[in-house]
Amino acid sequence: MVSERYVRLSKTMSYLLRHRPDEAGLVLDEAGLVPLSEFLGAINKRSGFGWVTEVDIREVVETSDKKRFRLEEGQIGARYGHNREINAVDPGEPVEPPEILYHGTPRRAVALILQQGLQPQGRQFVHLSTGVETAQMVGSRRDERPTLLRIRAGDAHRDGILFYAPTPDTYLAPQIPPEYIIAPEERQT
Ligand code: HQG
């Protein structure tokens, strides 16, 4: 069981590394990384986080259920979820996605998504999951009964849409046009 203070630390790490590095005087490089020593200093300056040590940061990175962070060669960054207002973060090499990926979304968003496609909204990329359960969980942040969309990722990829896989379970794409999205009522059995 992850402790409440580690959940709080993880959320603050996500906030600084995905959304507002500037708020803490941090500058991400093109891969979205900052030196761990600088990052620790910035965390320690925040109210309620004076207790954090490098060991705590490493523990949060290692135990993150969704592998949210990367820590390599003394540098730390978020693997996905970057805000579109910060410098574009290089997502790494494009990959071949599975034929089908999933996206959970609030019921109220479905009509618009089927019209406009999946758009990254406030982030740099659209987030897709390999598993139904994770997609449901993502959708349930905004709706207690989210709609599960199936994405024809294989076809989209063959048609030239780039996919990236920052973790084995999370795929990113710049956007997904409506023709690759299957809503439940259209699902073929
Ligand atoms: C929706 C968390 C209207 C989209 C999660 C979503 C994930 C549209 C919302 C990660 C739309 C954006 C990302 C359109 C997309 N019209 N609504 N054309 N296109 N949307 O938070 O995928 O736990 O930016 O369906 O678990 O919900 O923080 O994306 O509902 O992996 O590590 O617009 O964030 O990861 O919301 O979540 P978000 P998301 P962490």
Residue 89 within any structural domain of the chain? no
pLDDT of residue 1: 59
> Quick one: 67 and 24 in the same domain?
yes
Sign of CA dihedral 22, 85, 128, 166: negative
Same domain, 64 and 105: no
Q: Categorize the per-residue pLDDT at 88 as very low, low, confident or very high, splitting at 50, 70 and 90.
A: confident
pLDDT value of residue 43: 98
CATH number for position 67? 1.10.10.970
N-term to C-term CA, the chain: 39
Q: Same domain, yes or no, for 111 and 172?
A: yes
**Once rounded to an integer, what is the mean pLDDT over residues 61-77?**
95
Residue 92 belongs to a domain: no
Nearest CA to 76 out of 170, 130, 9, 126 is that of 9
Per-residue burial over 76-114, b = 16 or more CB atoms within 10 Å of its CB, e = otherwise: bbbbbbbbeebeebebeeeeebeeebbbbbbeebbeebb
Rounded Cα gap, residues 118 and 29, in angstroms: 27
pLDDT exceeds cutoff 90 at 187: no
Q: Which atom of ligand 1 is nearest to the CA of 128?
A: 22
Structure tokens at 133: 């359960």
Instruction: List the CATH number of the domain containing 141.
Output: 3.20.170.30
Q: Which of 10, 121, 130 to mutate to test the pocket of ligand 1 (most atoms within 8 A of CB)?
A: 121
Q: How does pLDDT run across 100-153, given as a tens digit for each residue?
A: 999 999 999 999 999 999 999 999 999 999 999 999 999 999 999 999 999 999
Same-domain status, 49 and 106: no
Mean of pLDDT over the chain = 95
Inside any domain, residue 120: yes
Q: Are residues 70 and 116 in the same domain?
A: no
- Please check whether residues 69 and 120 belong to one and the same domain: no
Query: Does residue 12 lie within any of the structural domains?
Result: yes
Q: Are residues 105 and 74 in the same domain?
A: no
Average pLDDT (48-67) is 96
- 67 within domain boundaries: yes
The 10s digit of each residue's pLDDT in 34-47 is 999 999 999 999 99
The residue range of the domain holding 17 is 4-78
Residues near ligand 1 (Cβ within 6 A): 14, 66, 68, 81, 105-106, 109, 112-113, 116, 118-119, 121-123, 127, 138, 142, 170
- State how many domains the chain has: 2
Residue 85 lies in a domain: no
Beta bridge partners of 77: 33, 70
How far, in Å, are 5, 78, 101, 154, 161 from residue 158 at the CA level?
A: 44, 28, 14, 6, 7
Query: Does 94 map to a domain?
Result: no
Output the CA torsion sign for 59, 60, 61, 64.
positive
Residue where a domain stops, chosen among 78, 111, 129:
78
Q: What is the per-residue pLDDT for 87?
A: 85
Tokens of 134: 């994770």
Ligand 1, atom 32: nearest CA belongs to which residue?
Answer: 68
Residue 161 lies in a domain: yes
Mean pLDDT of 12-37: 96
Q: Looking at the structure, do residues 65 and 118 belong to the same domain, yes or no?
A: no
Which is it for strands 69-72 and 147-152: parallel, antiparallel or unpaired?
unpaired
Cα distances from 48 to residues 20, 58, 64, 79, 177, in angstroms, run 18, 18, 21, 25, 43
pLDDT at 155: 98
